[in-house]
Amino acid sequence: MGKKVLIGMSGGVDSSVSAILLQKQGYEVIGATMRLWEENENSDSKKIIANNDCKETLENSENKQNNAVKDAKKVCEKLGIKHYVIDLREEFQKRVVDNFICTYLCAKTPNPCVECNKFMKFDAFYKFAKELGCEYIATGHYAKSFYSDKFKQYVLAKADAIEKDQSYFLYGINKEIIPYIIFPLAEFKDKSEIRKIAEENGLEVAKKKDSQEICFIQNNDYISFLKQYSNIEKFSDENLLAGTNNVKNSSYNYNDKENNKAENNKGKTTKGEGNIVLNNGEIVGKHTGLINYTIGQRKGLGVSYKEPLYVLKLNKDKNEVIVGTEKELYTDELMANELNFLIDIDSLKNVSMLQNKEQNIEQQEIEIEAKIRYRSKPAKATLKIENDIAKLKFSEPQRAITPGQSVVFYLNNIVLGGGKII
């Protein structure tokens, strides 16, 4: 029997085919599905880890999560491998959902998939794999992990299917586990190849549609979600100081900088009406609450002006939506915090990425490519780190750089790291 690998089974075709490929490569494959979120779930539910005998725990609900569990279980039965269900709902609420809510309430745009990968799929899941005695974990992500002779370490890189590459969402994971991650779909270039393998192996999920939405938001309606789960009608920065007590089941903590900002701006909210203004302060309309707007938005502003206007910035302190022309959406600089690097600084020195090997990285600029959102094209930029803040200067101005979103740094196709845009 080969080395043991725990594969994350979502009930979709990608993870199902990944399990098949691992079997063919000689691994002892075990499947596991993470139970992360359920509508109207019982808040008193206890954390459980169940194996193939988990039928009784699934019969009480018919939501998408349970359908995913059932589909994954069927695939595992078809392949003759064990299947586990890991209940991570409490952790998911804390790490992903609360973060999502609080980021929006701070007039920023969150990226829940980054948080989910960091804390759920490549942390909690990895720990469970170790409990089972597995040496590796695997997922159906389109990405690569391999040992780089150039950097003299294991690296995370883009998949061969560049248009489906998901490495952008993975920059936040712990670099120490990269040697123990397998991405079976790394070298596939077309989704039709994946579906063909599923059909050839008689899997019912062969024609199952890909999931495009945030898993815990129905119909992509995040506004309704925020109103339902954040108690947003009563939210204010005064509550923020108290640890976001108005966010249901919230355990998300703000740092001192955010708390000080809240202290100076008590009573201001993201839900109340306010002014829509130009950069010069001229009032051109009224908005219906900051959570209803995103950077780059044009439609739905309800503003009549001599030329098309776009959302440039959300000013929570003044409860203002700042708008301007499309040209004003472009900027060639950004800053990011909450940084995570997957390449060791010593490795950068070894390949002469740093001009002066004797200087600290915080004293130098690195030539990189950066993506400011998942669907954006990589753009050439210089990166400089100062006091744990990344400062990027792009060769060409970028459109609609959005606070709260992730910026990811690449060295060719290899992920250097990334951070949250501020």
Q: What is the 3-state secondary structure (H, E, C) of the chain?
A: CCCEEEEECCCCHHHHHHHHHHHHCCCEEEEEEEECCCCCCCCCCCCCEECCCCHHHHCCCCCHHHHHHHHHHHHHHHHCCCEEEEECHHHHHHHHHHHHHHHHHCCCCCCHHHHHHHHHHHHHHHHHHHHCCCCEEECCCCEEEEEECCCCEEEEEECCCHHHCCHHHHCCCCHHHHHHEECCCCCCCCHHHHHHHHHHCCCHHHHCCCCCCCCCCHHHCHHHHHHHHCCHHHCCHHHHHCCCCCCCCCCCCCCHHHHHHHHHCCCCCCCCCEEEEECCCCEEEEECCHHHCCCCCCCCCCCCCCCCCEEEEEECCCCEEEEECHHHHEEEEEEEEEEEECCCHHHHHHCCCCCCCCCCHHHCEEEEEEECCCCCCCEEEEEEEECCEEEEEEEEEEECCCCCCEEEEEECCEEEEEEEEC
User: So what's the pLDDT on residue 364?
Assistant: 78
- Start and end residues for every CATH 2.40.30.10 domain found in the chain: 330-421
Q: Evaluate whether 7 touches 138 at the Cβ level (below 8 Å).
A: yes
- Dihedral sign for Cα atoms in the order 127, 131, 133, 138: negative
User: So what's the pLDDT on residue 232?
Assistant: 52
Among 23-32, 210-219, 275-284, 332-341, which stretch is predicted with the lowest mean pLDDT?
210-219
Single pTM value for the model: 0.85
Residue 109 binned pLDDT confidence (cut-offs 50, 70, 90): very high
User: So what's the pLDDT on residue 63?
Assistant: 58
User: So what's the pLDDT on residue 229?
Assistant: 79
CA atoms within 13 A on the CB side of 48: 12
Q: Token pair of 383, please? A: 């990166």
User: So what's the pLDDT on residue 263?
Assistant: 38
- Start and end residues for every CATH 3.40.50.620 domain found in the chain: 4-207
* Rounded-to-integer distance, Cα 250 and Cα 230, Å: 9
User: So what's the pLDDT on residue 259?
Assistant: 40
**Stretch 383-407: mean pLDDT, rounded?**
97
Among 163-177, 225-239, 375-389, which stretch is predicted with the lowest mean pLDDT?
225-239
Gyration radius of the chain's alpha carbons: 23
**Stretch 13-36: mean pLDDT, rounded?**
97
- Judged against a pLDDT cut of 70, whether residue 355 lies above it is answered with no
- Start and end residues for every CATH 2.30.30 domain found in the chain: 274-324
- Judged against a pLDDT cut of 60, whether residue 60 lies above it is answered with no
- Count CB-CB contacts under 10 A for residue 101: 28
- Domain over 274-324 is classified CATH 3.40.50: no
Q: Quick one: what percent of the chain has pLDDT higher than 90?
A: 71
Please give the mean pLDDT across all residues of the chain.
85
Active-site positions read 116, 215
Q: CATH number for 330-421: choose from 2.60.40.1930, 2.40.30.10, 3.40.47.10, 3.40.190.10.
A: 2.40.30.10
The CATH architecture assigned to 4-207 reads: 3-Layer(aba) Sandwich (3.40)
Q: Considering only CA atoms, which of 328, 290, 334 is closest in space to residue 312? A: 328
* Rounded-to-integer distance, Cα 329 and Cα 202, Å: 49
